[in-house]
Structure 1
Amino acid sequence: MNHSKPSILIADDDENVLSALTLALKCENYQINKATTPHQVITLLSRKQFSCLLLDLNYTQDTTSGSEGMQLIEAIRNIDSHVPIIAMTGYSSVDIAVEMMKLGANDFIEKPWRNAQLSNKIKQQIERVNIVRRNEKLSQTNALLTNKQQGVIAHSAEMRQVLTQIERIAVSDMNVLFTGENGTGKSMLAHYLHQHSTRNNNSFIAVNMGAITESLFESEMFGHVKGAFTDAKEDRIGRFELASQGTLFLDEIANINLNQQAKLLHILEERKFERVGSHITLEADVRVISATNANLEQLVIEKLFRQDLLYRLNTVEIRIPSLKERVDDIIPLATYFIEQFCQKYRMP
Structure 2
Amino acid sequence: MHSDIQVVIIDDDAEITEALTEMLELDDFCVQAFAQPEKALASLHADSPVVVLSDVRMPRLNGLDLLARLQQLDAAIPVLLMSGHGDIPMAIEAMKEGAYDFLEKPLQPEHLLSRLHHAIDKRRLVLDNRSLRQNLEARCGLEASIIGESAAIKGIRQQVLALAQANVDTVIYGDTGSGKDVVARALHQCSARRDKRFVAINCGGMSESLIESELFGHEAGSFTGASKRHIGKIEVANGGTLFLDEIESMPLSLQVKLLRVLQERSIERVGSSTPIPVSLTVLAASKDDLAQLGEEGRFRKDLYYRLSVASLSIPALRDRPEDVLPLFHHYAQQACERFARPLPELSAAQSTRLLQHDWPGNVRELKNAADRFVLGIGESAMATDEAPGGYEERMDHYERHIIREELKAAQGQLNAAAQRLNLSRKTLYRKMKKHRLDKQLFKAGEDDGS
Q: CA deviation at 1:250?
A: 0.4
Distance 1:288 1:267 in 2: 10
Check conservation: 1:257, 1:304, Cα contact below 8 A. no
Structure 2 partner of 1:137: none
- The reply to whether residue 269 of structure 1 matches residue 276 of structure 2 is no
- The reply to whether residue 339 of structure 1 matches residue 296 of structure 2 is no
- The reply to whether residue 206 of structure 1 matches residue 200 of structure 2 is yes
Structure 1 partner of 2:145: 151
Structure 1 partner of 2:217: 223
Distance 2:192 2:319 in 1: 31
Distance 1:205 1:212 in 2: 17
Kindly report which structure 2 residues correspond to 1:3-152, keeping only aligned pairs within 5 A, or say none: 151-152=145-146
Q: Give 1 or 2: higher strand fraction.
A: 1
Deviations, residues 50-82 of structure 1 (Å, cap 9, x unaligned)? xxxxxxxxxxxxxxxxxxxxxxxxxxxxxxxxx
Check conservation: 1:179, 1:292, Cα contact below 8 A. yes
From 310, 331, 339, the counterpart of 1:316: 310
SS at match of 1:210: coil
Structure 1 partner of 2:234: 240
Distance 2:293 2:273 in 1: 34
Check conservation: 1:258, 1:305, Cα contact below 8 A. yes
Distance 1:248 1:254 in 2: 16
Distance 2:156 2:253 in 1: 33
Structure 1 partner of 2:182: 188
SS at match of 2:166: coil
Q: CA deviation at 1:311?
A: 0.4
Check conservation: 1:180, 1:292, Cα contact below 8 A. yes
Structure 1 partner of 2:288: 294
Check conservation: 2:217, 2:230, Cα contact below 8 A. yes
Q: CA deviation at 1:211?
A: 2.9
Structure 1 partner of 2:324: 330
Q: Structure 1: 5+ residue runs without aligned partners?
A: 1-149
Distance 1:217 1:336 in 2: 34
Q: CA deviation at 1:218?
A: 2.3
Distance 1:278 1:302 in 2: 34
Check conservation: 1:158, 1:321, Cα contact below 8 A. yes
The percentage of counterpart residues that share the same residue type is 40
From 251, 254, 265, the counterpart of 1:257: 251
Check conservation: 1:224, 1:235, Cα contact below 8 A. yes
RMSD: 1.3
Deviations, residues 163-209 of structure 1 (Å, cap 9, x unaligned)? 11111110112110000111111001100000000111110000101
Distance 2:219 2:251 in 1: 25
Task: State the one-letter code of the partner of 2:190.
Answer: H
Task: State the one-letter code of the partner of 1:206.
Answer: A
Count how many residue pairs are aligned between Structure 1 and Structure 2: 199
SS at match of 2:276: strand
User: Computing the radius of gyration over CA atoms, which structure comes out larger, 1 or 2?
Assistant: 2
TM-score computed with the length of structure 2 as normaliser: 0.43
Task: State the one-letter code of the partner of 1:227.
Answer: G
SS at match of 2:145: coil
Distance 1:280 1:296 in 2: 32
Q: CA deviation at 1:212?
A: 2.6
Task: State the one-letter code of the partner of 1:183.
Answer: G
Deviations, residues 93-141 of structure 1 (Å, cap 9, x unaligned)? xxxxxxxxxxxxxxxxxxxxxxxxxxxxxxxxxxxxxxxxxxxxxxxxx
Task: State the one-letter code of the partner of 1:203.
Answer: R
Structure with bigger RCO (C-alpha 8 Å, 6+ apart) = 1
SS at match of 2:293: helix
Distance 1:208 1:282 in 2: 23
Structure 2 partner of 1:115: none
Structure 1 partner of 2:191: 197
Structure 1 partner of 2:157: 163
Check conservation: 1:158, 1:325, Cα contact below 8 A. no
SS at match of 2:204: helix
TM-score computed with the length of structure 1 as normaliser: 0.55
Distance 2:240 2:154 in 1: 25
SS at match of 2:193: coil
Q: CA deviation at 1:325?
A: 2.1
Q: CA deviation at 1:336?
A: 1.1
Q: CA deviation at 1:289?
A: 0.4
